[in-house]
Amino acid sequence: MRGCGPRGFEGFAMATTSTETFRCMMCGHEYTEKVEKGEDKERSCPKCRSNSIRHLKKKAGSG
């Protein structure tokens, strides 16, 4: 069938999102934010606006 190439599926790209936890190194505020897989953007603390943000890793085997 003609015309059924990948062009027809452009709108169906699966963007994998997850909720991740971040901590501000200046004020210690911890917050969660939705993150897309592969996303690399500069973040700032919603409390003090510092850009010294660290991603908190999930603990392996917490149970």
| pLDDT (tens digit per residue) in 13-44 | 567 899 999 999 999 999 999 999 888 889 99
The architecture that CATH gives domain 15-56 is: Single Sheet (2.20)
Among candidate residues 34, 29, 35, the one with its CA nearest the CA of residue 49? 29
Q: pLDDT band at 58, cuts 50/70/90?
A: confident
Distance CA 33, CA 3 (A): 40
Question: Quick one: 31 exposed, middle or buried, by C-beta within 10 A (0-12, 13-18, 19+)?
Answer: middle
Top pLDDT among 7 and 37 is at 37
Distance CA 15, CA 38 (A): 10
